[in-house]
C-alpha cells in the first residue's frame, strides 16, 4: 500500500465517486452470487463511513519514517462486522506501511474483495491448510523476505489511532528487541470479564522482557500476542521462523525461542489497538483445551519459564477484585468460567491419552486434528 493510496482512495469515495467505486468493485467479483455481492456492497459502504471519520491530514507525520521496510500481514476468514472499521484504521496509518497483505481462508462474506478494493494485496489459501505458525511463516517468506520488519494483525484488532503502527515500530530503537507487541484495549461492547482480561494482560506501562527476567516474571516473560505484534525479520530467520506444527500459540513459542537466543521482547503500551472477545462458555472451554494441548506439546521449551499455574492464580485473584468493584453480579459466572478453563486446560494437557475424535470435538481448531 503506497503512501499516496489513502488519499487516492478517499478521493474515489467522495461525492459522486462513491457509487462508481462500489459498482466497480461489484463488477470485479460479479462471478459470485447476488447475495455475496450485496454483502460486499454493504461492507464497502461501511468502510467509506468509517474512513471518513478518521479524516487524517495528508501531511500527518510527514517527517516520520519507519526504521526500514515494513510489511503488514493479516490472516482472515469471514472477518465480519468489524472489517470495515479494521480497513479504515489500517488505511489511516501514518506513515503508511510499505505493503499490506491479506491471507484469506476462503471467506464468503466479501472481506477479501473489500480488502482488494481498498488497495491491499490479497492472497487466498485453502481453509483446511491454514495453520497459525506455518501459514504465517509462508506469508513472511513470500511477501516480507526482503523487509526489515513484519507486523501481524488479526482481523478483529482495530488500530486505535493513526500512529499505532509507528508507535509499535519505535520498540526497535533498541537493537536487542526482536519482537514487540502493543496494548490491547477492550472493544466498546466488551463485558466486564473481557475488559478485565485486557487490563490484566496489557497494562498502561511498557516493559522489556529478557532471559534474566524469568525468575521474576515466569512464563509471562515469553508472553506475546500476534493480534498486534511486530518482528525483526532478521531475528526470525536466525531462530528458524515460526513452527509449522502448532495448534495455536505460535506467538508465545517464537517469543520463547527468541528470548532463549538472547533477544528481548518489548511490550509498548503507547501502541494501541482495540481487541477483545466476549467468549461463550463453550468457546472458553475450547480455547483453554487448545492452550493445554499447546503447553503439553511445548513442555520442553516452556518448562524453562515456569509453570502457567502461578500466572493463572494471579489472574483469578485479580479478576475477583476487579469484578467485586465493577460488576459484582458477574462473580458467580466468573467462578464458573474459572472451573471450565481449569478442566479444559487439564484435559488439553492430557490430550495424548484421548481419542482424536474426542479432541476434535473439544477443540476450537478442529482442522488441526484432521
Q: Phi first, then psi: give them for residue 153, nearest 5 degrees.
A: -130, 145
Cell 477484585 belongs to 321
Give the residue ranges of the chain where pLDDT is below 50.
1-31, 57-61
**Rounded to whole angstroms, how far apart are CA atoms 274 and 276?**
7
pLDDT at 370: 77
**Rounded to whole angstroms, how far apart are CA atoms 229 and 179?**
7
pLDDT at 44: 64
CB atoms within 10 A of CB 190: 18
pLDDT at 52: 60
pLDDT at 48: 61
Query: Contacts for 333-337 with beta carbons within 8 Å, 24 or more apart?
Result: 333/193, 334/193, 336/281, 337/193, 337/281, 337/284
pLDDT at 264: 97
Rounded to two decimals, the pTM is: 0.86
Start-end ranges of CATH 3.90.550.10 in the chain?
5-274
5-274 maps to CATH 3.90.550.10:
yes
DSSP letters of 208-255?
EE-GGGHHHHGGGGG---TTEEEEEHHHHHHTTSS-SS-SS-HHHHHH
Amino acid at each position: 500500500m503506497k503512501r499516496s493510496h489513502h488519499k487516492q482512495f478517499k478521493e474515489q469515495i467522495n461525492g459522486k465517486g462513491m457509487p462508481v467505486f462500489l459498482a466497480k468493485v461489484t463488477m470485479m467479483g460479479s462471478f459470485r452470487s447476488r447475495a455475496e455481492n450485496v454483502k460486499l456492497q454493504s461492507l464497502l459502504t461501511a468502510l467509506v463511513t468509517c474512513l471518513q471519520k478518521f479524516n487524517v491530514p495528508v501531511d500527518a507525520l510527514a517527517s516520520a519514517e519507519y526504521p526500514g521496510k515494513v510489511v503488514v500481514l493479516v490472516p482472515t476468514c469471514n472477518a465480519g462486522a468489524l472489517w470495515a472499521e479494521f480497513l479504515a484504521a489500517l488505511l489511516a496509518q501514518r506513515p503508511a506501511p510499505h505493503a499490506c497483505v491479506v491471507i484469506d481462508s476462503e471467506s464468503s462474506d466479501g472481506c477479501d474483495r473489500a480488502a482488494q478494493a481498498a488497495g491491499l494485496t490479497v492472497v487466498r489459501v485453502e481453509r483446511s491448510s491454514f495453520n497459525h505458525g506455518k501459514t504465517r511463516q509462508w506469508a513472511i517468506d513470500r511477501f516480507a523476505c526482503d523487509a526489515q520488519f513484519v507486523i501481524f494483525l488479526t482481523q478483529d484488532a482495530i488500530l486505535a489511532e493513526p500512529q499505532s503502527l509507528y508507535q509499535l515500530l519505535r520498540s526497535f530503537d533498541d537493537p536487542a528487541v526482536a519482537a514487540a507487541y502493543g496494548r490491547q484495549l477492550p472493544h466498546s461492547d466488551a463485558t466486564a470479564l473481557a475488559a478485565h482480561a485486557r487490563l490484566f494482560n496489557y497494562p498502561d506501562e511498557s516493559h522489556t522482557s529478557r532471559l534474566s527476567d524469568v525468575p521474576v516474571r515466569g512464563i509471562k516473560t515469553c508472553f506475546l500476542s500476534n493480534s498486534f505484534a511486530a518482528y525483526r525479520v532478521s531475528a526470525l530467520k536466525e531462530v528458524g521462523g515460526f513452527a509449522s506444527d502448532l495448534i495455536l500459540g505460535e506467538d508465545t513459542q517464537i517469543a520463547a525461542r527468541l528470548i532463549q537466543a538472547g533477544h528481548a521482547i518489548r511490550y509498548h503500551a503507547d501502541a494501541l489497538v482495540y481487541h477483545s472477545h466476549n467468549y461463550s462458555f463453550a468457546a472458553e472451554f475450547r480455547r483453554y483445551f487448545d492452550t493445554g494441548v499447546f503447553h503439553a506439546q511445548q513442555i520442553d521449551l516452556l518448562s524453562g519459564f515456569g509453570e502457567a499455574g502461578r500466572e493463572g492464580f494471579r489472574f483469578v485473584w485479580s479478576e475477583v477484585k476487579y469484578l467485586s468493584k465493577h460488576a459484582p453480579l458477574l462473580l458467580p459466572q466468573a467462578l464458573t468460567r474459572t472451573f471450565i478453563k481449569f478442566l479444559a486446560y487439564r484435559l488439553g494437557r492430557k490430550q495424548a491419552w484421548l481419542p482424536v475424535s474426542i479432541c476434535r470435538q473439544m477443540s476450537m481448531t478442529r482442522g488441526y486434528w484432521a
